[in-house]
Amino acid sequence: MRQALRRATWEAPGVTAETAERRAVLIAGPTASGKSALALAVAERCGGVVINADSMQVYRELRILTARPSPEDEARAPHRLYGHVGSGDGYTVARYLDDLEGVLKETAGRPAVIVGGTGLYFNAMTQGLSDVPPIDERVRAFWRERARTTSPAALHRELAVVDPVLYGRLHPNDTQRVLRALEVADSTGRPLSEWQEKRSRPPISGGRIARVVMAPARDWLHDRIDERFRAMAAGGGLDEARAFSALGLDPALPAMKAIGVPDMMAAARGEVAVEEAIEAAVTATRQYAKRQETWFRNQMADWPRLDPAAARHFVAVADDIAQRMK
């Protein structure tokens, strides 16, 4: 464990006068793995600011069903980029990076404790983002409709024609990224893989940076997912789903696809029993967690791992990282 702790912090390359004093803690992990608790513990110990890196927790109307920090937790340390976007808006990785850079400037001098389960956000903040022009809304609407009426395998085959490189990299079931690649190729006339060759300067590119991936045992995580979702449903999740459904938003919007939200909206409308909706949401959440774990295993292989069930190590990691940020 101590060896892992030593590897958790490194002096990042590309240090400039602007970034030399930057202190950042990056905490990734699957949903319900305890990463928010670790982030809060670190922030309290080092006077840091907790910054969201979860693509669903940005939406204002979904506090409960996306497991955003409670008002009590938010009172213990400053929190940023939670619930700051209306659910009727699209929210891209590029917009997230802009928001993150603004928060880093606003809170300069305090450690940034960045926590979430969206791997693309971590990639973008540490590796930069390709400078893709805005997508024509008519093109986006066309591909959204195509996705509704075409199988994932068929969409993936279309990608082979316009972007063979990403066709080879992306799984047919990774519909969101396949769709993004098709939109970019259609709107810009260039494959997304070409745009990705030239990246912007990442906001987390120098200074003292600690990183860790939460790696719970599968049974522990499955039990926690079940317990947490049932608690969310009993703690106002059904009412939140009812209010969210009443907004009448486009089903294609990202917020409408948040894990568990479609199931709970169906229950709120009386289309299915609440218990049936909870079971479906728990199953979907477990499947999502498995996809996250696969992504972290492939993309963050060199990040130290932490088992959140090991309470003694959990506290030791929080203490150690906080000390390094002071």
Query: Which residues make up each annotated binding site?
Result: 29-36
Q: Are 266 and 70 in contact (CB under 8 A)?
A: no
- Strands, DSSP E only, in 29-159? 49-52, 79-80, 112-116
Task: Mark the binding-site residues for ATP, compressed into ranges.
Answer: 29-36
| CA pair distance 139, 136, nearest whole angstrom | 5
| CA pair distance 159, 172, nearest whole angstrom | 10
| CA pair distance 229, 239, nearest whole angstrom | 14
- Tally Cβ neighbours within 10 Å of residue 277: 24
CA Rg value for the chain: 20
**Cα dihedral 226, 31, 29, 78 sign:** negative
Question: Each residue of 234-273: b (16+ CB within 10 Å) or e?
Answer: eeebbebbeebbeeeeeeebbbbebbbbbbbbbbbeeebe
Task: Mark the binding-site residues for substrate, compressed into ranges.
Answer: 31-36
| CA pair distance 181, 206, nearest whole angstrom | 30
